[in-house]
Amino acid sequence: MTVKLIEYAEASSEVRAVYDDICIASHGAAARKKGMTEEMFGELMAVVGMASETNRLVTGWRVPLDESLR
């Protein structure tokens, strides 16, 4: 069986209703419904990706937590 993901922009109104109902991708559908553009989504994903990479590096290098944050 082959599964094909349907992008929100290409989805029928019925599929969009399901996406909006379950707020897939960390409420991405709800944000789009409130006006988030694809450009905004791309910028958000870039920031999230950078934060994720930074967290992996900090964890890998075992960087100690600053005293002020303890």
3-state helix, strand, coil in the chain (%, to 5): 70, 0, 30
**Has residue 51 been placed in a domain?**
yes
**Has residue 14 been placed in a domain?**
yes
Taking the alpha carbons at both ends of the chain, their separation in whole angstroms is 50
Distances from the Cα of 47 to the Cαs of 10, 19, 35, 41, 62, in angstroms?
25, 23, 19, 10, 22
Considering the entire predicted model, what is its pTM?
A: 0.51
Query: How many folded domains does the chain comprise?
Result: 1
The arithmetic mean of pLDDT across residues 18-36, rounded, is: 72
Banded model confidence at residue 24, pLDDT cuts 50, 70, 90: low
Residue-number span of the structural domain to which 27 is assigned: 8-61
**Has residue 67 been placed in a domain?**
no
Task: Return the half-sphere exposure (C-beta side, CA atoms, 13 A cut-off) of residue 48.
Answer: 8
Please say if the pLDDT value at position 25 is more than 60.
Answer: no
